[in-house]
Every structure is written in structure tokens, then in C-alpha cells.
Amino acid sequence: MALDGILLSKIIPDINLLCPAKINKIYNISNTEIIFHLRTNQGKKKIMISCHPLYNRINITEKEYPTPSEPSNFVMLLRKHIEGSMILEVKQGDLDRWCYFKLSKRNTLGDKQILMLYVELMGKYANIILVDENSKVIDALKRIPPFENNKRTIHPGANFNVVLPQEKQNPFQNPIIDRSISLTSQLSGFSPLLSKEVEYRLSNNQLFKDIIKEIEKSNNLYISYKNNEAFFHIIELTHIASATKYELHEGIDILYYHKEEKDRIKQLLGDVYKVVKRELKHNKAKLPKLMDSLTQALDNDKYRVYGELLYAYNINDTKGLNYIELNSFEDNSIIKIPLDSKIDGKANARKMFQKYEKLKKGADHIKNQIKITQDEIEYFEGINQQLEIIDFVDAKEIVLELVNNGYLKANKSKLNKKKKKQNTMPNIKTIQYNEDTKIYVGKNNIQNDTLTFKIAKKQNYWFHTKDFHGSHVVVDTKDLNEDIIRTAANIAAYFSKGRYSSSVPVNYCQIKDLKKIPGTKLGKVSLTSYKTIYIDPDENLIRNLFD
């Protein structure tokens, strides 16, 4: 769910406390996300604005976001017009889901200029619009031409009209409430979720004025989870489940940072997805053809028999014949031998032996090709699974792996920079489970290989799903008790293809019981001895460990 007007009314004052603030840098993180780097009276700050159809929001963020090497056209325009400008104030439109930044800058002549940056957070209509001092649209993240909406055109040069206020009561000004209809239709800024909560509290004899006071005083975000779905607001959602309390902007970061991550990675690393999809499609189409070829190649012995029969019966005159029938030496049955009608019997016999030798050698080659193709399918299915569970830093390591294996071409413009960074350690997640226990998690082949064969000690314990591609999990502990075993197994199961399965088998053993398989790609191991535990992946446990 996205922010509603009440939640936005809590965010805007916090941004205003930073004003006046200078916009130092502007970056696009994805097609729908823009981040402002500010210099403020409280030091350096960052404001995230997202116009994603589902996750649109604005907040002060502490998170580090990856940025594309090439900025979008809209960001280039923003850099031209407002980079270096001062944010004088930020105002919300009543309690609606839009606000504007009042910006001051000097033009090329040195004259002071006031621009407005409107941020509209209205689901699929979410937008960022830059407007000049004459209320003309300079440009927008999402243009809306006249043929799409003749009442409100958002296009360079068009007159800008603000979103008209809805005819609803202000919940902070003693509204008259009709309990027979939804609060969403009566009160400004109330989303259906907040309405349900307030209605639930009213039905439990809590006074409306007391609920509003709680909303007014709150500067926190309460996050509840039900059926693995997050619900949140600035008051606890007692009608859903117990909640975890966060500082407002921190809570928004926790909610949304990973939600758009997959889209972000796809936009920034589109080539990776194309390569994986292409290689999987190619090898899966190739495998059945190789299996058919192997079946034919393994049927090579009949050509040896054909040749021996032609020689034994001293068949010479076969020109003009397409086949000949001879009795088998073994059971005297009739064997129909295909012939080349252009050559004699001895030449046909030699041809049969040549075909026999060729197919015999070919069978070994085809078996090798089948093994290579099966390994390629397994490898890219593993990469495909890793792309489902990684963050952007992990994804960059997958790019490096694909470049090193020759599946991707290196970016020449960044080649020298990459060479300097290749010797750095992979981004392996470390969890301090307790005073005597650390858990390490690898989420791609480079991390898995480094963790298992370079970082882990022989006495450490290794966890991995039995039947699925997934993470290598290493536990460094003096006391491997049942609680640690279940936690490590849960991590291994969650960061695997079995994430949404039940009773996922997870093998575990000491590092000394592992061997690297020669000639295979990164991350492949064999186990000399191990135990197996069956686990139901617990998303709440993982969230608590990784947040």
C-alpha cells in the first residue's frame, strides 16, 4: 500500500525542518524513483521520491541506493533547472496526497527565479512535475498529453492546474461523523486502512477525539504483518495484529527499500536477465536434440553387423539395389540391409564399418555435450534463482561472474575501475547471532565459493538445501545447538528456490566434510557425510535477522 494524506502530513513537517536546503545532486534510481542529495542546516540529507504505481512515497532516507551510469532525460532536465537551487519550503495540498517544493535559484542573467516542484502520490497517477513562475509546465516524469486527459494536461508548455480538493471534512477540526458510512468518504486524508482502524477503535468504545490526538502526537510508524503482507500507519493497527514501532522515516525505508529492489535491478542490469533467459532457452532446446542424437549413436552396432554380413556372404553386385535381405548368423532371421545403389557390395560393407566407427566415437562426444548442456541448465537455473533473492551489490557480483565466464561483455568505459575493485571481498552477509556465534550467508556463486572455501574454517558448520539451488550458510560457533541449527537451516531454505515450500530438506555438515568438485563452476561441492533437517521457511524470523 502507498502513503495516505494523514501519513504525508507527518512527513512534510520533517522535510520542512531541513529548509532552507540546497539541492546538491539529483539522481534517478529507477524509472520511477528520484533521490535528492541536500545540504541542510542539519548536515547532508537525502530525500527519496517514488512514483511507483504501488509504492509511491516521499521520505527522508538513510539508505544507500545504486544509480544508473546514465541519468534519465527527466533527471537531466531537473539537473539543468533546479540543481543548486534552494528549497525554501514544502507544503501539502490540504490533507491530500500531493505536495510542492518551493524552489529559489538564479537564472543565467543572475535574476532570482521561483520554481515549483509538485509531487503527486496518487497510485498509478503518481507524478513529479516541474512548474515555472508563470504556472507553465516545464516537464514531468510522466507526461499526460491532451488526448489522454483534456481537463488536466501535463506536458511542457501547458498551463498547470493543481489537483482540486475533495469535499471532505478535516479530521482535526471537530468533524461531524456519520457512523453508517465509511470514514474514507467523509474525512480528508483517511485511507481505507486507517478508516477501518478508527472504526474498529470506535466500536470498542474509544472516543474519536482521543484517536485523533494519538494521530496528532505520533511521529512513528507501526508495522504489522498478516499472511506475510505488511500493513502500516502512524498509529498501531489493532484490528490487524500487534505491531513493531519505528521512527517514521526509518520505518518507511524498512517497508519500501526491498520492495522495489527487484524492479531496480532489472532496470539497471537488464542484460543479465536477458543473458540468463537466452542461455536457459538455448540449452533447454538443445538437450532433447542431443538425446535423440545419442539414441541414434548408441544404435551403432547394427552397422557393424551389416558390414560383416556383406563381407561374409561375399556380396559384390549391389549397384541399382536400395537394400538386400540376408540371414543372421545368430538366429537365421532375415536382416534387411540398406544399400547405396551407386556402389558395389564391398564398398557398401566398408561404408557400414565407417558409419559404425563414426557413430561409436560420436556417442562419446554426444554424451559429453549432454553433460555440458545439463551443467549449463543447472548453472543458469541457479543464477536465475539468485536473481530472485539478491540486492543490487550481490547482482553486480553476478555480472562480474558472467563477464569472467564469457557470457557477458565487460563495460569498456568502466574496465579499469573494475580491475581495481575485483580483489575486494564479496558482499557476504554476517549475522552476530549471539556472543559466541556468527552466521555467514552467501547469496551468489562468488559469495558462496569465497565463503565456503576461503573464509570458513574446517570446524565451522555448512548448511545448504538438499534439492534446491540456494545460499551457502556457514555457522561459526562452539556450541551447535538445536536453536542455531534451525535458524541456519531456515536461512538456507529461505534464500533458495524452496522459499515458499514446506518441509524443505537442508543438509548440514562441517566444512572439513566438503570437497570442491574439480572442473565445475563456482559454488559446486560434494559432501562426504552430512545430516538433514526439514524446515518450514519463516519469513518473520528472516526479517528480524536481516533488518
DSSP code string of 146-164: TTT-SSS-BSTTSBP-PPP
Per the CB < 8 A criterion, the answer to whether 536 and 504 are in contact is yes
Could you give the CA distance from residue 333 to residue 336 in angstroms, rounded to a whole number? 10
Q: If pLDDT is split at 50, 70 and 90, which confidence band does 418 have? A: very low
Residue 84: helix, strand or coil by DSSP? Answer: coil
- Predicted pLDDT at 256: 84
The whole-number pLDDT of residue 268 equals 66
Mean pLDDT over all residues of the chain? 89
pLDDT tens string 258-297: 677 767 777 767 778 888 899 999 999 999 999 998 888 8
pLDDT digits (tens, 9 = 90+) for 437-491: 999 999 899 999 999 999 999 999 999 999 888 899 999 998 899 999 999 999 9
Residues 24, 99 share a domain:
yes
| Residue 293 DSSP SS3 | helix
* Residue 83 belongs to a domain: yes
Contact 55, 120 (CB under 8 A): no
Same domain, 14 and 130: yes
Q: What is the pLDDT of residues 242-253, one digit of tens each?
A: 888 999 999 998
In a shared domain, residues 417 and 477? no
* CB half-sphere exposure, 116, CA atoms < 13 A: 18
| Range(s) of the domain holding residue 380 | 270-386
Is residue 175 assigned to a domain? no
Least confident residue range of 17-21, 37-41, 192-196, 537-541: 537-541
At 545, is the pLDDT very low, low, confident or very high (cuts 50, 70, 90)? confident
In a domain, 87, yes or no: yes
Indicate if the pLDDT at residue 64 is higher than 90: no
**Alpha-carbon 125 to chain mean position:** 24
17 and 131 belong to one structural domain: yes
231 with 281, same domain: the answer is no
Specify whether 436 is located in the same domain as 532. Answer: yes
**Which DSSP letter does residue 235 get?**
S
- The larger pLDDT score, comparing residue 423 to residue 98, is at 98
Whether residue 226 is predicted with pLDDT greater than 90 in this model: the reply is no
Q: For residues 266 and 277, what is the distance between their CA atoms, to the nearest angstrom?
A: 13
Where does a domain end: 262, 281, 297?
Answer: 262
In the chain, the percentage of residues whose pLDDT exceeds 90 is 58
Q: What is the 3-state secondary structure (H, E, C) of 376-403?
A: HHHHHHHHHHHHHHCCHHHHHHHHHHHH
Distance, CA of 55 to CA of 52 (rounded, Å): 5
pTM (whole model) above 0.75: no
- pLDDT category of residue 423 using cuts at 50, 70 and 90: low
Q: Are residues 309 and 188 part of one domain? A: no
Say which range, 105-119, 377-391, 475-489, 530-544, has the weakest mean pLDDT: 377-391
Does residue 306 have a pLDDT over 80?
yes
Which residue would you say has higher pLDDT here, 529 or 227? 529
Mean pLDDT calculated for residue range 158-172: 92
CATH number, domain with residue 57: 2.30.310.10
Helices 539-546, 482-494: axis angle to 10 degrees equals 100
Domain assignment present for residue 145? The answer is: no
Q: Are residues 292 and 217 in the same domain?
A: no
DSSP symbols for 30-81? SSSEEEEEEEETTEEEEEEEE--TTT-EEEE--------SS--HHHHHHHHH
**Within a domain: 460:** yes
Both 229 and 208 in one domain: the answer is yes
Same domain, 354 and 290: yes
Instruction: Report whether 408 contacts 462 (CB < 8 A).
Output: no
Question: Please, which pLDDT band fits residue 414 given cuts at 50, 70 and 90?
Answer: very low
pLDDT confidence bin for 419, thresholds 50/70/90:
very low
Domain boundary among 401, 421, 441: 421
Is residue 374 in a domain?
yes
In a domain, 154, yes or no: no
pLDDT value of residue 416:
46
Asked whether residue 42 is domain-assigned, the answer is yes
Counted domains in the chain: 5
Amino acid at 533: I
- Are residue 414 and residue 331 in the same domain, yes or no? no
Shared-domain flag, residues 296 and 398: no
Instruction: Judge contact between 468 and 496, C-beta under 8 A.
Output: yes
